[in-house]
Amino acid sequence: MSYNNQFRTFQTVLRYDAALLRHSQWIRWVTGITCPCLTADTGAPDPHCSVCKGRGKIYSTPGQFRILDEAAKHDGLGHVYTSKPYMAGTVTVKRHGVPLTLDPVQPVDRSYVQLALPFPKAYEVLSMDYLYTPDIAVADENSTVYGTNLLQVVVPLFTERGKSFEGSLKSVSRVYNVTRDKLYTVTSFMKVYIELAGMESWVSGDILEVDYVYQRPYPFLLTGISPKLRYTQPYVLENADATLVTPYWAQVSPDDLFTAMAVEQTGKVVINPNTGAGNDVITAYYDISRLLRAVDQTGHDYAVGSDVVIFGRNELKWLTGKPLTPYTAQFTYHPTYIALDQMHTLRNAENKAFVNRISVKQFDRVHDKVEY
């Protein structure tokens, strides 16, 4: 999304930030693009595609963002503070639209941006442009081993409405056995899990170090649509279940997914293990939070954690042999919404763009093809 700079005002940004502090929810955001496995004649995805796993969409984290014309807090010593962790070398500080000179020596911890002399007065109005990324690097972290080649790392917990949840893995650069001086090969990773090609020579008690990058959730607003809202607001699409309000820097596209992290609902599916090898993918749900039970057709109740675990966002990984008969999986999941359309609204009193409002529909209620 883009719009003219005249729509970005100090008042607009500050009002949105204040609204976030009062009403925001933690949202896991992933972008969606069409997988190249789709056939040209039917538009159907390859059900055996290893990239999209038969969904027809490739989902990934949004990456870095550009903040434009943000109100810049500063003092009389030339310290300018960003509201988000900026990327080094990307900051432009402006006074009345004219860039100011930065000091060649910047703080290592990037807690502020240092201006060069002469410093602007503390009462002068400054703005700034910069890049930021929600990615957080973790080095030498410990992990928990499940089975023979599955690790679970610990990422900082976020708490909202009495519920705690983690960030999501974006990359893994190293898995190292300190005790035996051995590097392991990573084959895949999802959410808080890392799958290795093997863990040769590993025994219980060995010290493992993991280097990885995870992405924290985003403070967005998610609001259900009442009949009155649908009637009075022209931006609400007829097939939308809710609207998502995002900051001005969030560039959302149709097919992007948004998961409400503080909400859990109960779901269940019947899975036929004979349909394919590998993990069992629960396609109707995107973000499973807890596996409660797995019971097969013979009535056998499998042990969650030692027989089967959640892997990724909607997969079940068997640590022992798969059931030979169809089984029922019961779980809780975070409701996920798919973006239908986006438009910024105008503040009637000021005639200025305020925030982005996106019509969204719940993921488990949509068919394979979403029309716009």
Q: Where are the domains of the chain?
A: 64-132, 135-215, 265-333
Distances (CA, A) of 126 to 40, 78, 83, 116, 174: 52, 11, 14, 14, 42
Kindly report the pTM of this predicted structure: 0.81
Rounded Cα–Cα distance for residues 116 and 120 (Å): 10
pLDDT digits (tens, 9 = 90+) for 236-268: 888 889 988 888 788 888 889 999 988 889 999
**pLDDT under 70 in the chain at which residues?**
1-21, 160-163, 274-277, 342-355, 365-372
pLDDT of amino acid 370: 34
Rounded Cα–Cα distance for residues 290 and 316 (Å): 11
Query: Helix (H, G, I), strand (E, B), or coil: what is residue 45?
Result: coil
Tokens of 351: 């005639």
Q: Left, alpha or beta for 72 (phi > 0: left; psi -120 to 50: alpha)? A: beta
Rounded Cα–Cα distance for residues 232 and 235 (Å): 9
Tokens of 17: 């930030």
Asked whether the beta carbons of 73 and 125 are under 8 A apart, the reply is no
Asked whether the beta carbons of 268 and 328 are under 8 A apart, the reply is yes
Q: Which residues pair with 72 in a beta bridge?
A: 126
pLDDT of amino acid 335: 93
Asked whether the beta carbons of 141 and 314 are under 8 A apart, the reply is no
Q: CA torsion 230→234→240→242, rounded to 10°?
A: -70
pLDDT of amino acid 371: 33
Query: Helix (H, G, I), strand (E, B), or coil: what is residue 278?
Result: coil
Rounded Cα–Cα distance for residues 188 and 83 (Å): 33
Asked whether the beta carbons of 272 and 326 are under 8 A apart, the reply is yes
pLDDT of amino acid 75: 93
